[in-house]
Amino acid sequence: MARIIMLIDLDAFYASLEELRRPEIRGKPVIVCVYSGRTEDSGAVATSNYLARELGIRAGMPIAFAKMAAKGKDVVFLPVDKEYYGAVSDRIMDIFGDYAERFQQVSIDEAYLDVSERSGGSYEEAERIAREIKERVREEEGVSCTVGIGPNKFMAKMASKKNKPDGLTVVRPDDVPAFLNGLPVGKLHGIGEKTAEELMGLGIKTAGDLASFSLPSLEERFGKNKAKLLRERALGIDDSPVEQKERQQLSRIATLKEDSSDADEIMKRLSELCADLRKRMEKLGVSFRTVTLITIDAHLKMQTRSETIQEKDDPCAALDNVRALLVGFLKDENHKGIRRVGIAVSNLSYKEKKKEQKTLFDY
């Protein structure tokens, strides 16, 4: 069966999450920054939403330069909140895992999914799956994502760049040459600025030029291995697998019907989340040793409390531990009620991996 691969990219992820928890900043350019602490403006831009990008403000730009570009405009600058972003990312990656034989998270906001078997080799079915994923991510987490679908990881990545944000682009095997040929070589994923300049010096301006250029001449300039890689990029060839990595944490989170400080009411929701999480764990074949209570209050401040316990394979069996964490939180913290609540498990052990490990009695 031919491969069908997706690349899913969460749109302006950090900035989108900040807009989600701060409705008052929606419709404004939003810049999320990594502050170094040396001065008020020292550090760099981590990401920006699309309105900020229209001002020329992008990731990696010094904060001082970003503020000059934003001068006189109603622009919002915020510090990164990696704990918050990471928790949402974990939940979204769990969604991805429901749809793929294998998925490979490559960053906090990006992952490859191998849907070859799930789609039955049909690009129409793969597109339907992608739309379902997009809808679930939007409904459950309130953010949009862009999906590229292709016959390999490279083409999925290239397709994902086509229609951002909130896009979906499908490139079938027969469409690869037409999709790539007219692109500037610098737009090919994996070809950096310096290499693109060297290619331009050889008269190679587009992917089509690179695909038809003499391979011996490329080898003479770049060496055999890099020349082969450049040619494969131009032709849309990529045999690298989607490499499933073991998850370090699994979680579920949901919004309460109304803000609450009632432990019994909150535990009812946590029990439902445990049952949902158990299904995911059974599918993956994992057990855990650490359980974590996640709370988000009326001011959208996230807090966690954890306990390491005897290894279990059912999160519902740890509800007493979760209740104790919740009661302690409600007693110790000065808050106006919990808005969202969740449960996470970590220190995971994979049962299949355990089966593969031999003991002294196996020899």
User: Residue 220 catalytic?
Assistant: no
Which residue do the tokens 């919004």 mark?
Answer: 255
Q: What percent of the chain has pLDDT over 90?
A: 71
Determine, yes or no, domain membership for 15: no
Burial of 42 (0-12, 13-18, 19+ CB in 10 A): middle
- CATH classification at residue 192: 1.10.150.20
Please give the average per-residue pLDDT across 326-336, as a whole number: 81
Active-site residue among 24, 54, 83, 110? 110
Q: What CATH number should be reported for the domain holding residue 331?
A: 3.30.1490.100
Would you say residue 360 has pLDDT above 50? Answer: no
User: Do 255 and 347 reside in the same domain of the chain?
Assistant: yes
Please say whether the beta carbons of 342 and 269 come within 8 A: no
Query: What was the pLDDT predicted at 253?
Result: 82
User: 290 and 346 in one domain?
Assistant: yes
Pair 225, 196 in one domain? yes
Range of the domain at 221: 181-235
284 and 308 both lie in a single domain: yes
- Position 111 in a domain: no
Q: Is residue 13 assigned to a domain? A: no
Alpha carbon distance 314, 312 (integer Å): 6
What does the pLDDT read at residue 106? 93
**pLDDT for the residue 353:** 55
**Same-domain pairing of 228 and 275:** no
If asked whether residues 333 and 257 sit together in one domain, one would say yes
Bridge partners, residue 170, by sequence: 149
How many whole angstroms separate alpha carbon 190 and alpha carbon 324? Answer: 50
Averaged over 183-189, what is the pLDDT?
95
Statement to judge: residues 321 and 270 lie in one domain: yes
Number of domains observed in the structure of the chain = 2
- Residues 284, 346 within the same domain: yes
Question: Is residue 131 domain-resident?
Answer: no
255 lies in the same domain as 342: yes
* pLDDT, tens digit, 9 for 90 and up, residues 18-31: 999 889 999 999 99
Classify 150 as helix, strand or coil: strand
What is the overall mean pLDDT for the chain? 90
Where is 306: in which H helix or E strand? strand 302-312
Whether 350 is covered by a domain: the verdict is: yes
Asked if 256 and 343 sit in the same domain, the reply is yes
- Does residue 52 belong to any structural domain of this protein? no
What confidence tier does 350 reach under pLDDT thresholds 50, 70, 90?
confident
Q: What is the pLDDT of residue 300?
A: 67
Are 256 and 344 in the same domain? yes
**pLDDT at residue 351 tops 90:** no
Instruction: Give the mean model confidence (pLDDT) for residues 245-264.
Output: 85
Q: What is the pTM of this model?
A: 0.75
- Across the range 201-218, mean pLDDT stands at 95
> CA-CA distances (angstroms) from residue 320 to 266, 272, 316, 349?
13, 14, 9, 21
pLDDT digits (tens, 9 = 90+) for 125-160: 999 999 999 999 999 899 999 999 999 999 999 999
- Does 165 map to a domain? no
pLDDT digits (tens, 9 = 90+) for 257-309: 899 999 999 999 999 999 988 988 888 889 999 999 999 887 767 788 999 99
336 and 298 both lie in a single domain: yes
pLDDT digits (tens, 9 = 90+) for 112-131: 999 999 999 999 999 999 99
Among 233-237, 271-275, 332-336, 356-360, the minimum mean pLDDT is found in 356-360
User: Looking at the domain assignment, is residue 158 inside a domain?
Assistant: no
- Grade residue 361 by pLDDT with cuts at 50, 70 and 90: very low
